[in-house]
């Protein structure tokens, strides 16, 4: 990678050089007010919270994304900031979705100067890609964000917590109410470390809220509003496996890889995303585990109804859940004590005493593109524009014993196996296997694994061969810009805070 | 109070001057190691944990008391310290019981130099009272201990957590296993803030333990041992209300006071201890609440089966539980999601964003003696020897709207209502009512309450009259020493860390 030594608006660049992580970390100090002064936490408006927290120009406000594309809290809060004429705010949002389009105006008007996030899609991502921000966005991983917050590297002045249910003293949960979204794993870290914490709720209940995901000792103020989010954008009813035959073929192959790997014992653990192919892998894996009589230790994630089905079928003993992807998962978390919440730090922070990702047997990962060094890009699209980000991608890849990327060889005629990815989200050294519709590639350092797969009858091919196949079959090309003269619009941090890549403006 | 300005071995004395508490507090920093270095947390012996944590002369080791008089962890750990020839350790134990008698030898031999605790009874208390420690014991409240730990005032080098169930990565709970004792509320604070955390368990389960009270991200090492405690000393099967007619009369009067107070609405909340009279108050109150159709918000505490019965009868919507007093309560916590764990900080820390005690309607408190200023002593006996300590006494009294002390006028012929208590555990300014078998006294600042009680037909009397009655009826006297020439053996801290009294050696 050609990384500059210094990036304006970001600072000195510590380049990523392999997965050796820092040895020690401190948990930041924070100042907390005294009970006696805070007996009345209930405020009337978000504006009152700005006053109560003395939010000033240049402040860092944080948000979490459990309400996903239905979230209204970030927009409401920044609208108040704009009304008040505040400037140069830093927005530390665990993810940004198309619903956050109004943020583009706040960037243009100077209300927001800086963004840190683990994922962005939609108008904000487009505006950033076009170079509309003066200061580059910092793209974190979910675990890296938790690390940065706990260590004090990312100091949050005020965390705004979207609370589907909350009492007047700040006890809150995500499982009851109109905007029910499941456990609030990302928000837990913000609530524990921000200087001030404001819960914004559309369901104020009698004290105490029960159950409690985030407790009163981490909440300064409570603001009731008419609506914190649009349920139709928060979750799907149920996430469903793909029915596309190519996708199904990839899923079947991925499940075979897991079976062949030798990891399918009673200490097996598993994570997958909510995409159609990922869900199809889970479905195929269910069949394999049932056939073999395997009862694994845990599933984790971003949890879908499908993982809950596997729990209830006895295929896993428990679930670690940082956020729900569908209503079925929310319902499971509400009813089943084996379905446990986890904070983003417990999930994936590399500088803690041990994250759940470090105990993963297998992770199923998606990819926008994969290169011959097994590097994965889920940050930018083929033309170089931002269309996502790591989320937990790099975290789980680093932690899991067997990290499997599933991808079609081509999408829309454009190769997804490439010589060199447009942006490195996840380093190839943490990827074990790439499963495509044209065969399976195994990372060269995993010769043991390649042997096992071949013995199992799996079609293992060199990555170079998959690249060539993709080139042969392509029906469309992309002018890959990555021109060094273009301005840096985003800095991609690895989970330990080192810089693994940069994103440049789309010309 | 005649407090010295400086106490050897303690330092400068900040005298307690009313309940105005410090305005702001910082949560201390801590250094945590990195996952990569800690993948193998499982050690063979407690000695290995001493090596792994580099425990040195003068280190501060912390312990929690959920195993009560059945605890074997503190003794095991200090035996190892003694074997290794360590000296001058500080023991920060949330409470000390008769089972901790071996600690006396460690004091004498110089292994242990300093003790901080919220309660002590048995041989250790006796040794301290006799003046066997060079350095005075610091007697904290449960909330004050949490405050001191969070603020860094009490810095714990290594916290030892007695874990009834634990996995190899440090996820642990208190509800399963031979030594099941309920939620580990006191240990939660130590685990969150100690520099190093060692879980000691006699039930090692497959990863992940489920449910989880303290998670892997707060635990450095796990040591399996044959037994962490003797179940017969940990909990009673069921705690039972008194059947003594005098005690029952006091309980009935206390329940009448609550009914008369006007607090019995649907926002009612309640805490009581596990003593026979306290339990009888709960029984009487149950009858009143049922008669009036009141459904309160929550019960909290130190939880007994009786509070669980009230939850199940619909008299409360939820329970906040920092520790269980009986097996019935453990079972309720295991089964019923309305029965919620709370940390000692959430329970009672005065420098947090709001403790549960601050939301209490009514607290039922015991007393060794009460004086005409309503000050309560639960720290020393009539001869001046240490026999207990605040625990949550001073915390709940400060928080509750209606703090009721129940006490007999005399015990063993000795007055319990006195001119001046031998030691102030809880300041009279935080006590509203004293209920005795000879009438009820109301704090002079609560004229409103006195009126309500009188209207209700309750026998309200001046405290001076109760004192005189006690003097008339006494059949035994005590030579109260409290001689200023005696050496200070314990410093009694109020919950905010100010000094409210001292205990001097028993002559």
- Rounded to whole angstroms, the Cα distance separating A450 from A457 reads 11
Sheet holding A439-442, edge to edge: A339-341, A316-324, A296-303, A269-272, A362-365, A402-406, A433-436, A439-442
- B310-326: average pLDDT: 97
Residue from the list B25, B29, B338 with its beta carbon closest to the beta carbon of A210: B338
A37 touching chain B per CB within 8 A: yes
Architecture per CATH, B43-234: 3-Layer(aba) Sandwich (3.40)
| Residue ranges per structural domain of chain B | 43-234, 245-504
B17 touching chain A per CB within 8 A: no
> Strand ranges (DSSP E) for A255-338?
269-272, 296-303, 316-324
Residue from the list A25, A35, A298 with its beta carbon closest to the beta carbon of B355: A35
Neighbours of B292 (CB within 10 A): 12
- Look at A3-7, A393-397, B95-99 and tell me which has the smallest mean pLDDT: A3-7
- A405-421: average pLDDT: 95
- A245-259: average pLDDT: 97
- Rounded to whole angstroms, the Cα distance separating B493 from B475 reads 34
- Rounded to whole angstroms, the Cα distance separating B290 from B284 reads 10
Q: pLDDT tens across A127-163, in order?
A: 999 999 999 999 999 999 999 999 889 999 999 999 9
Residue from the list A23, A220, A356 with its beta carbon closest to the beta carbon of B34: A23
Are B39 and A354 inside 8 Å of each other by CB? yes
Residue B87 φ/ψ, nearest 5 degrees: -140, 160
Q: Is residue A89 reached through a cis peptide bond, with omega within 30 degrees of 0 on the bond before it?
A: no
Q: What is the pLDDT of residue B20?
A: 46
Q: Which residue of B has its CA nearest to A33?
A: B24
Q: Are A9 and A137 in contact (CB under 8 A)?
A: no
Q: Is the pLDDT of residue A479 over 70?
A: no
B-chain CB neighbours of A338 within 8 Å are 210
- Name the range with the highest mean pLDDT among A324-328, B462-466, B474-478: B462-466
More confidently predicted of B352 and A229: A229
For chain A, how many residues are written?
A: 507
Query: What is the CATH number that goes with domain A37-231?
Result: 3.40.1080.10
Residue A106 φ/ψ, nearest 5 degrees: -70, -30
Sheet holding A196-201, edge to edge: A221-224, A196-201, A158-163, A60-63, A89-93, A112-117, A137-139, A488-493, A499-504
Q: What is the pLDDT of residue A480?
A: 61
Q: Are B361 and B333 in contact (CB under 8 A)?
A: no
Q: What is the pLDDT of residue B476?
A: 79
> Strand ranges (DSSP E) for B423-473?
433-436, 439-442
Helix axes B142-151, B185-193, angle to 10 degrees: 10
Percent of chain A exceeding pLDDT 90 equals 86
| Per-residue confidence band for B481, with pLDDT thresholds at 50, 70 and 90 | low
Are A353 and B266 inside 8 Å of each other by CB? no
B498 touching chain A per CB within 8 A: no
The CA-CA-CA angle for residues B301, B492, A218, to 5°, reads 45
Reduced to 3 states (helix: H, G, I; strand: E, B; else coil), residue A98 is: helix
Residue from the list A25, A197, A297 with its beta carbon closest to the beta carbon of B34: A25
Count of alpha carbons within 13 angstroms of residue A136, beta-carbon side: 25
Residue from the list A219, A320, A352 with its beta carbon closest to the beta carbon of B353: A219
Taking alpha carbons only, the member of A347, A360, A378, A16 closest to residue A150 is A347
Q: What is the pLDDT of residue A239?
A: 76
- Rounded to whole angstroms, the Cα distance separating B229 from B348 reads 27
Contacts across the A-B interface (CB distance below 8 Å): 181
Residue from the list B28, B318, B356 with its beta carbon closest to the beta carbon of A210: B318
Q: Which residue of B has its CA nearest to A356?
A: B216
B-chain CB neighbours of A345 within 8 Å are 217
User: How close is the nearest chain B Cα to the Cα of A369, in Å?
Assistant: 29
Q: What is the pLDDT of residue A36?
A: 43
The tokens describing A103, both together, are 């943020």
A-chain CB neighbours of B267 within 8 Å are 206-207
CATH 3.40.1080.10 fits A245-480, yes or no: yes
Beta strand A417-418 with B60-63: parallel, antiparallel or unpaired? unpaired
A-chain CB neighbours of B358 within 8 Å are 35, 39
Residues in B 173-192 with any Cβ partner in A closer than 8 A: none
Q: pLDDT tens across B156-195, in order?
A: 999 999 999 999 999 999 999 999 999 999 999 999 999 9
Q: What is the pLDDT of residue A31?
A: 58
Q: Is the pLDDT of residue A484 over 70?
A: no
Question: What b/e readout covers B146-180, taking b as 16+ CB neighbours within 10 angstroms?
Answer: bbbbbbbebbbbbbbbbbbbbbbbbbbbbbbbebb
User: How close is the nearest chain A Cα to the Cα of B266, in Å?
Assistant: 9
Q: pLDDT tens across A414-442, in order?
A: 999 999 999 999 999 999 999 999 999 99
Are B219 and A353 inside 8 Å of each other by CB? yes
A-chain CB neighbours of B32 within 8 Å are 24-27, 351-353
Are A207 and B267 inside 8 Å of each other by CB? yes
Burial of B117 (0-12, 13-18, 19+ CB in 10 A): buried
Residues in B 79-98 with any Cβ partner in A closer than 8 A: none
**How much is the mean pLDDT over chain A?**
93
When scoring A22, A205, A208, A294 by the number of chain B Cβ atoms within 10 A, the one with the most, hence best to mutate, is A208
List all residues 6 or more positions away from B392 whose beta carbon is below 8 Å from its beta carbon.
B118, B141, B142, B143, B301, B302, B322, B347, B348, B357
Superfamily the domain B245-504 falls into: Glutaconate Coenzyme A-transferase (3.40.1080.10)
Are A31 and B25 inside 8 Å of each other by CB? yes
- Rounded to whole angstroms, the Cα distance separating B224 from B200 reads 6
B-chain CB neighbours of A31 within 8 Å are 24-27
Residues in A 462-491 with any Cβ partner in B closer than 8 A: none
Q: Are B159 and B198 in contact (CB under 8 A)?
A: yes
Residue from the list B31, B338, B346 with its beta carbon closest to the beta carbon of A217: B346
- Rounded to whole angstroms, the Cα distance separating A302 from B240 reads 46
| Per-residue confidence band for A24, with pLDDT thresholds at 50, 70 and 90 | low
- Rounded to whole angstroms, the Cα distance separating A318 from A300 reads 9
Q: Are A56 and A234 in contact (CB under 8 A)?
A: no
Neighbours of A281 (CB within 10 A): 32
Residues in B 268-307 with any Cβ partner in A closer than 8 A: 297-298
Q: What is the pLDDT of residue B24?
A: 53
When scoring B34, B54, B150 by the number of chain A Cβ atoms within 10 A, the one with the most, hence best to mutate, is B34
- B121-138: average pLDDT: 97
Q: Is the pLDDT of residue B58 over 60?
A: yes
Taking alpha carbons only, the member of A499, A507, A505 closest to residue A128 is A505
- Three-class SS string for B337-406? CCEEECCHHHHHCCCCCCCHHHHCCEEEECCCEEECCCCEECCECCCCCECCCCECHHHHHHHCCEEEEE
Q: Is B43-234's fold the same as B245-504's?
A: yes
Q: Is the pLDDT of residue A478 over 90?
A: no
B-chain CB neighbours of A41 within 8 Å are 354
Are A359 and B169 inside 8 Å of each other by CB? yes
For chain B, how many residues are written?
A: 507
Percent of chain B exceeding pLDDT 70 equals 94
- Rounded to whole angstroms, the Cα distance separating A38 from A217 reads 11
Burial of A457 (0-12, 13-18, 19+ CB in 10 A): exposed
Are B340 and A30 inside 8 Å of each other by CB? no
DSSP-assigned letter for residue B193:
H
Are B210 and A34 inside 8 Å of each other by CB? no
Residues in B 309-338 with any Cβ partner in A closer than 8 A: 317-318, 320, 337-338
The tokens describing A66, both together, are 């459990």
> Maximum Cα–Cα distance for chain A, whole Å?
71
User: How close is the nearest chain B Cα to the Cα of A234, in Å?
Assistant: 25
- Rounded to whole angstroms, the Cα distance separating A174 from A158 reads 20
Residues in A 217-236 with any Cβ partner in B closer than 8 A: 217-220
Q: pLDDT tens across B257-279, in order?
A: 999 999 999 999 999 988 899 99
Q: pLDDT tens across B212-259, in order?
A: 999 999 999 999 999 999 988 888 767 788 999 999 999 999 999 999
User: How close is the nearest chain A Cα to the Cα of B22, in Å?
Assistant: 7
Q: Is the pLDDT of residue A124 over 70?
A: yes
A145 touching chain B per CB within 8 A: no
Sheet holding A376-377, edge to edge: A376-377, A369-371, A417-418
> Maximum Cα–Cα distance for chain B, whole Å?
71
| Per-residue confidence band for A308, with pLDDT thresholds at 50, 70 and 90 | very high
- Rounded to whole angstroms, the Cα distance separating B244 from A37 reads 43
- Rounded to whole angstroms, the Cα distance separating A294 from A278 reads 20
Q: Are A77 and A158 in contact (CB under 8 A)?
A: no
Q: What is the pLDDT of residue A26?
A: 59
A-chain CB neighbours of B317 within 8 Å are 206, 210
Residue from the list B32, B218, B349 with its beta carbon closest to the beta carbon of A351: B32
């Amino acid at each position: 990678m050609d990384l500059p030594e210094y990036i304006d608006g970001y600072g000195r660049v510590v380049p990523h050089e392999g997965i050796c992580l820092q040895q020690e970390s401190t948990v930041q100090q924070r100042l907390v007010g005294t009970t006696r002064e805070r007996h009345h936490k209930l405020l009337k408006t978000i504006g009152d919270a700005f006053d109560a927290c003395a939010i000033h120009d240049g402040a860092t406000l944080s948000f979490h994304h459990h309400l996903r594309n239905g979230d209204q809290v970030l927009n409401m809060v920044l609208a108040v900031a704009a009304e008040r004429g505040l400037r140069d705010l830093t927005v530390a949002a665990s993810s940004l979705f198309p619903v956050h389009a109004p943020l583009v105006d706040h960037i243009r008007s100077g209300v927001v100067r800086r963004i840190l996030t683990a994922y962005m899609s939609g108008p904000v991502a487009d505006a950033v890609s076009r170079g509309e921000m003066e200061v580059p966005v910092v793209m974190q991983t979910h675990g890296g964000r938790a690390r940065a917050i706990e260590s004090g590297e990312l100091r949050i002045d005020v965390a705004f917590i979207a609370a589907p249910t909350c009492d007047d003293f700040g006890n809150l949960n995500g499982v009851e109410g109109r905007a029910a979204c499941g456990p609030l794993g990302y928000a837990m870290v913000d609530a524990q470390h921000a200087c001030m914490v404001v819960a914004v709720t559309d369901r104020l209940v009698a004290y105490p809220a029960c159950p409690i995901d985030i407790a009163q000792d981490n909440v300064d103020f409570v603001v009731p509003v008419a609506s914190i989010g649009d349920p139709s954008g928060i979750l799907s009813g149920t996430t469903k496996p793909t029915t596309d035959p190519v996708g199904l073929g990839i899923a079947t192959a991925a499940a075979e890889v897991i079976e062949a790997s030798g990891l399918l014992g009673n200490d097996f653990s598993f994570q997958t995303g909510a995409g159609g192919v990922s869900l199809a892998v889970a479905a195929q894996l269910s069949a394999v585990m049932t056939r073999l009589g395997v009862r694994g230790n845990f599933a984790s994630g971003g949890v879908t109804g499908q993982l809950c089905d596997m729990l209830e079928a006895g295929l896993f003993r428990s679930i670690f859940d940082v956020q729900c992807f569908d209503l079925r998962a929310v319902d499971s978390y509400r009813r089943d004590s084996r379905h446990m919440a986890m904070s983003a730090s417990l999930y994936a922070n590399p500088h803690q005493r041990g994250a759940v990702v470090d105990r993963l047997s297998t992770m199923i990962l998606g990819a926008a593109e994969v290169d011959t060094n097994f590097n994965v890009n889920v940050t930018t699209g083929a033309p170089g524009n931002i269309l996502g980000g790591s989320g937990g991608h790099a975290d789980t890849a680093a932690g899991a014993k067997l990290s499997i990327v599933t991808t079609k060889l081509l999408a829309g005629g454009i190769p997804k196996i490439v010589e060199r990815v447009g942006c490195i989200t996840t380093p190839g050294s943490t990827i074990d296997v790439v499963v495509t519709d044209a065969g399976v590639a195994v990372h060269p350092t995993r010769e043991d694994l390649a042997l096992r797969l071949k013995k199992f009858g799996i079609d293992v091919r060199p990555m170079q061969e998959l690249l060539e196949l993709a080139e042969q079959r392509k029906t469309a090309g992309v002018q890959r810009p990555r021109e060094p003269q273009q301005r840096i619009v985003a800095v991609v941090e690895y989970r330990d805070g080192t810089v693994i890549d940069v994103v440049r403006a789309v010309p």
